[in-house]
Amino acid sequence: MPRMGERASVAQWLVAPGSGFRLADVDASATPGAPGGKEATVAASGEVHATLGALQERLWAEDARSLLVVFQAMDAGGKDGTIKKVFTGVNPQGVEVTSFKAPTDEELAHDFLWRVHAKTPARGRIGIFNRSHYEDVLVARVHGLISDDERRARYDRINEFERLLTGAGTTVVKVMLHISRDEQAERLRRRLERPDKRWKFRKGDLAERERWDEYMVAFEDAIAATSTELAPWFVVPADKKWYRDWVVLQILVDALQKIDPQFPEPEEDLDGVVVR
């Protein structure tokens, strides 16, 4: 258990490349590595938040490299909430969120990475994907839109694409927010009941819920095939929102610390310069 101010090791949520990953081994309601219960963990998050903001400022100032954070989850898995919580207080100027919906006719007339590549973060920026190209091996698989051969080819294309990005100076971090089927039911019920949440409820989500087991297989295979040294997957137990937020903060701060962005040198020697 990390002490206050101490950084938790992100290795505990990392899917080690080529490790025969089993999603069933991840308990969605567990809180491994948390600095304590809800109260202590929320308290500890404040400091990590400040670190995230400071690192983002350096990334922006350096204007050389970028960070892409991909979020995937089942419906009601907490993608929107995580993005809202974790990036509160980060300078919006340097952050761009893209929410990927079912592809348009124009998007479908191109290869599946076309719309995604257009939204990758420019240097100095943090790009956040709320859903992503992974839908093209998840929902596309579960709905039988692609053959098994095409799906496996897409894993390869995705790995190549992410290698292209990392080679161009973009750090790629992928996060699956893993909730249990029971927790999803709770959250969908809450959406129905609460006037301020009802707008999010879509009857179609219930049809997807019926295919829960197929989605779990699709997630497991996709993550196992695409967690690489350069673009790793992290699977975050996400039934408890306070824990999920704290873990995602740890993962982002770790990624930015590895980038280690630096304030650029001033353009010329400023010694002795006085503003009058």
What does the binding site for ligand AMP look like in residue numbers (CB under 6 A)? 100-103, 131, 135-136, 139-140
Burial of 223 (0-12, 13-18, 19+ CB in 10 A): buried
Which lies closer to ligand AMP via its Cβ, residue 60 or residue 100?
Answer: 100
Which lies closer to ligand AMP via its Cβ, residue 131 or residue 178?
Answer: 131
User: What angle (nearest 5°) sits at the alpha carbon of residue 64, between those of residues 62 and 66?
Assistant: 100
Which lies closer to ligand AMP via its Cβ, residue 135 or residue 183?
Answer: 135
Nearest Cα to Cα of residue 121 among 58, 63, 54: 63
What is the closest distance, in whole angstroms, from the C-beta atom of residue 253 to ligand AMP in the complex?
26
Which lies closer to ligand AMP via its Cβ, residue 90 or residue 188?
Answer: 188
Chain position whose Cβ is nearest to ligand AMP: 135
Whether 188 and 207 have beta carbons less than 8 Å apart is answered as no
What is the closest distance, in whole angstroms, from the C-beta atom of residue 242 to ligand AMP in the complex?
22
Which lies closer to ligand AMP via its Cβ, residue 123 or residue 211?
Answer: 211
Helices (H), the chain: 38-62, 79-86, 105-108, 114-117, 139-142, 148-167, 181-193, 203-210, 212-226, 241-259
Tell me the C-alpha distance between 67 and 169, whole Å.
8
What is the closest distance, in whole angstroms, from the C-beta atom of residue 108 to ligand AMP in the complex?
9
What is the closest distance, in whole angstroms, from the C-beta atom of residue 107 to ligand AMP in the complex?
8
Nearest Cα to Cα of residue 133 among 157, 168, 104: 157
Q: Which residue has the tokens 């290795």?
A: 11
What is the closest distance, in whole angstroms, from the C-beta atom of residue 110 to ligand AMP in the complex?
12
